[in-house]
Chains A and B, each alone.
Chain A
């Protein structure tokens, strides 16, 4: 039984009553000045609510969500681990919240030192020469990285190299980022073991290759065992290797991507470093590079001169990718986490994330086929092919009735009916046991009462929604 709020909740506009307000400002103590006539705004259609109505409204809305704080949320590739409460306390210090980005380096030494320490810490975790905290999200880090590759190619007179190789298991952001940097993508298939097909890779490595984008562990949850060889081959062909660090939760303290030949990589601080996902963001996509690409990092980055810290542009920087210096509030949380975990703690994260994933896999793989028979890293991909006429979507929706958030489904695209499960290290053995039990019970239901699955969820604020109507006749704004 879920604790989710089943009641209908009106929209703020429907709760609005003319004349109410939820705030008060001091009375103005200056004269009024006229706004130029042609610019005066006549109508402003914003709602009018009192504070209590507003508090109940948003509280009730929050209760219509599953969240890590309320449910097990094993979304593959998303690393839905516990977000420590103390991080929120640290980030809400007025010394951060009331710090203006243009106060000048000398007035923001505390902030710059935090950024420098985080930069240095993550550089060590990844095994890279330099880092920039500018990117606001993973995809933003990817864009920065492929722009760096583009700039480096241009600098050596190799702008004709336009082909970026992307494994078929990659996140959609990889090819989309390439397009935004002016590259053309070529898909490289995976082999029967879930690794990149080396024959196909070699065939693609010609004089037009700019590089390759690799996620390791890949989205099948498998370590790319040929990583060194891949990097060597791509380098020999004149290309660069981009590392998608989405799955670093499996590797921190165990393996340094930089030492395997990756030239540039982003970290998802909202995954590996425990900052909250916030229903979609904000993330932080710090990017790190080896010596060949470090001069091209987006800036500014923080440098240390003696005891002082200052912002500086890397010498051949691709420029700014956003205003100011990154999602600083997210960086504070990630730095808190880095301090609390330390070297030993991060290693423990990777060990327990991988242990939990393998354990959960061992509990369900006899019922849910696992297409690649290998040890998984922090997540595994299984198939929802448990009964005729039942699909992965049905299993996912039925999990909701059991009080669990569904895993990532239908991704990676190379596995039919994929269920991609990432438990993370912060879940207990009891939770994993209960989840496995639910999955097994659902498989049994699929055989005997498939309609239970087809009609699921039964225990949620809404049943399955009509997405066709939503896309065919879009209603994207309140029309009251």
Chain B
């Protein structure tokens, strides 16, 4: 299968028009000794064969749908209404490029503007950009943005309770700048702010699921001349106060749970929002509303002087692409669920998680560690959590994440996630199985 329309006769005709005798001649600028005869790969196969090969690999994976699923930890199993992929998968969206020619890209541009609007209102920010690669890179870019906006004050306050992979991505992104990361435990307002602090990062909620209000910490940051960055769960923001309402200057979030499938970790959606005051320091594409010469409303990429294709080495970031389709899925998801639907998803996740925590906390040997949480909580287990995960998996239950995956010394802690997909029966089965496994 090659998808190449040129026939032999056409190739001959085209070569003649160019004035060469062979295709090989077209490659004459490549030094002859560097030109290869072929690749050490199998020959191409048909669509049927390729699909069979890939489908058979897909079948060798464990799937959320076939188990009672309580594993989250940064990637969430939520419902995606059928209209979301049906509309986002339309060829006109799927096979368009970045909307650099606005007159023939109004579809993509207006969808981005709608996404920006809905995401901004959800997070309580003035502006959201057209997206980053994922929540972790959005947070890393937020840290760099704050560091530069605060005249390179060297210190960033990071919560100990932050997704470990996010922490690692921040470290990678900041390798070259001598930024000093100071870790704080517990409530963010108790962190130590000083004149060297550029920003505080608040995880809302933390990796453990624990939720701390933001307002006091934001005020303390501002008094110290620092910025307040919030890494938010966007679904939680439908039920609990948004970061913007509580004084955040920059918000990053993982948008996967807003209408994007798990896909073994990607593509996901890095949401980033900020205030009007900081918008010209924000990385990423931004779409703005304007008018054409006849006064008709239209949308364009704007504030482009921040970006690499204009500012080059002085750009605020090197980011070029956005997660277009993931963003579009989220745009359609937010419009589909709307005000009531998203609240209901958040409400059910919250209630079901609290119901599960209540049941588990009652089982001898188990203790729920959180005092305030949304849909995820940390459980102390009587046996190594990795062992419990194995045992329950065999019974068709994925009970959560054994924390030893990231912290080898934390053997007896299990991070349990409950979403709108879980039923009361599943939660009760989980509790029963946990009890059984403790024996």
Chains A and B directly touch (beta carbon < 8 Å): yes
Report A336-359 CB contacts with B as 1/0, cut-off 8 Å: 101111111111110110111011
Complex interface bits, A361-391 against B, C-beta within 8 A gives 1, otherwise 0:
0110000000000110100000000000000
- Stretch of A62-70, A233-241, A286-294, A445-453 contacting B (4+ beta carbons < 8 Å): A62-70
A65 touches B93 (CB 8 A): yes
* Chain A CB within 8 A of B383 CB: no
Chain B window 143-177, contacts with chain A (Cβ cutoff 8 Å), 1 for yes, 0 for no: 01000000000000000000101101101110111
Give the size category of B's interface with A: 35 or more
Give the one of B56, B61, B122, B175 with max A CB within 10 A: B61
On chain B, the residues within 8 Å of A362 by CB distance are 17-19
The answer to whether B103 and A465 touch across the interface, beta carbons within 8 angstroms, is yes
A363:B17 contact, CB within 8 angstroms: yes
- The one of B31, B63, B265, B302 that contacts A225, using a Cβ cutoff of 8 Å: B31
**Any chain B CB within 8 A of the CB of A475?**
yes
Contact B117 A477 (CB under 8 A): yes
A237 to chain B, nearest CB (A): 21
30 contacting pairs across A/B (C-beta < 8 A): A22-B336, A23-B338, A39-B372, A40-B240, A62-B107, A65-B107, A84-B1, A89-B51, A97-B261, A99-B63, A101-B262, A101-B265, A102-B73, A136-B323, A138-B321, A176-B318, A254-B36, A277-B98, A279-B97, A282-B324, A321-B173, A322-B169, A329-B261, A336-B50, A338-B41, A346-B41, A358-B26, A362-B17, A375-B29, A462-B106
Give the distance in Å from the alpha carbon of A477 to the alpha carbon of B88 in the complex.
21
Known A172-B310, A254-B36, A462-B103; judge A11-B113 contact (CB<8 A).
Answer: yes
Most buried by A among B26, B74, B328: B26
Q: Report the minimal beta-carbon distance from B116 to chain A, rounded to whole angstroms.
A: 6
A341 touches B44 (CB 8 A): yes
> With an 8 A cutoff between CB atoms, is A305 at the interface?
no
Cβ contact within 8 Å between B323 and A179 = no
Q: State A474–B112 Cα separation when bound (angstroms).
A: 15
User: Quick one: which of B47, B131, B137, B314 contacts A340, CB cutoff 8 A?
Assistant: B47
Tell whether, in the assembled complex, residue A41 and residue B240 are in contact, meaning their CB atoms are under 8 Å apart.
Answer: yes
Q: B13, A259: Cβ atoms under 8 Å?
A: no
Nearest 5 Cβ contacts at the A-B interface: A324-B265, A182-B176, A95-B58, A342-B44, A110-B60
- Bound CA span A147–B63, Å: 35
Q: A44-B122, A137-B320, A474-B279 are in contact. Are A280 and B108 (CB under 8 A)?
A: yes
Q: Decide: A95 and B63 in contact? CB cutoff 8 A.
A: yes
Most A CB contacts (10 A, CB to CB) among B98, B101, B288, B348 go to: B101
Asked whether A461 lies within 8 Å of B237 as measured between CB atoms, the reply is: no
| B51 engages A179 (CB within 8 Å) | no
Tell me whether A277 and B324 are in contact (CB under 8 A).
yes
Smallest CB–CB gap between B81 and chain A, Å? Answer: 5
Give the chain B neighbours of A38 by CB distance below 8 A. Answer: 213, 241
Which residues of chain B come closer than 8 Å to A178, judged between CB atoms? 313
A444 within 8 A of B: no
From A78, which residue of chain B is reached at the shortest CB distance? Answer: B97
Whether A476 touches B339, Cβ cut-off 8 Å, given contacts A97-B262, A322-B169, is no
Closest residue to A181 on the B side, CB-wise?
Answer: B176
CA–CA, A63 to B111, complex, Å? 12
Q: Establish whether residues A276 and B95, one from each chain, have CB atoms under 8 Å apart when the complex forms.
A: yes
| Chain B neighbourhood of A338, CB < 8 A | 41
- B408 near A: Cβ within 8 Å? no
A59 at the interface (CB under 8 A from B): yes
Q: Is the CB of B288 within 8 A of A471?
A: yes
Q: Is the CB of A100 within 8 A of B31?
A: no
Contacts A25-B420, A30-B351, A342-B44 supplied; 19 other A-B pairs, CB < 8 Å: A23-B338, A25-B341, A41-B237, A67-B96, A93-B55, A95-B58, A98-B261, A99-B262, A102-B75, A107-B62, A140-B137, A180-B176, A324-B264, A341-B44, A343-B42, A345-B43, A352-B4, A463-B292, A465-B298
Please name the residue on chain A nearest to B85 by beta carbon.
A92
Minimal beta-carbon separation of A102 from chain B (angstroms) = 6
A243 at the interface (CB under 8 A from B): no
